[in-house]
Copies of this chain bind each other. A is one copy, B any other.
Amino acid sequence: MDQLEKTVSQMKYDNSGLIPAVIVDCKTRQVLMVAYMNAASLVDTVRTGKTHFWSRSRNKYWMKGESSGHTQQVKAIYTDCDKDTLVIEVEQIGAACHEGYYSCFYRQLTDEGDWKVCAERVLDPKQIYKK
């Protein structure tokens, strides 16, 4: 076991062996998405420089952008005081959101207590998975 594998093994994973990763734009610090990593996907994220995750809904290991081409180039990785969360600064190719928005967080809570779209799409979502 090398130093990276040791460090990764010492993170606090949840009961499913996962840790949330907050993906942030390296230039603007905008939060782009939150997804989950297991130890293997975190090691691969560091070694390849591209974000890898574990999908809880599809129960599947995946590299961000593997089908869309919208990969994330890793610039820096941070952890918190509890070592149970990651913040990863990336350079985002295309858009992070499969809906065509640059960030998945494109809805803001209004004073009336409802969600309102607060961003413009940067890509036609129909085109995203044709690349």
Contact = CB atoms under 8 A, between A and B. Distances in A.
A22 interface: yes
A106 interface: yes
- Interface majority SS (helix, strand, loop, mixed), chain A: mixed
A109 B30 contact: no
Interface of A: 2-7, 20, 22, 24, 28-31, 33-34, 46, 76-82, 85, 87, 97-99, 101, 104-109, 112-115, 118
B81 A99 contact: yes
Nearest to A4: B113
Given A24-B31, A81-B99, 8 more contacts: A4-B113, A28-B29, A29-B30, A29-B31, A78-B109, A79-B107, A80-B106, A80-B107
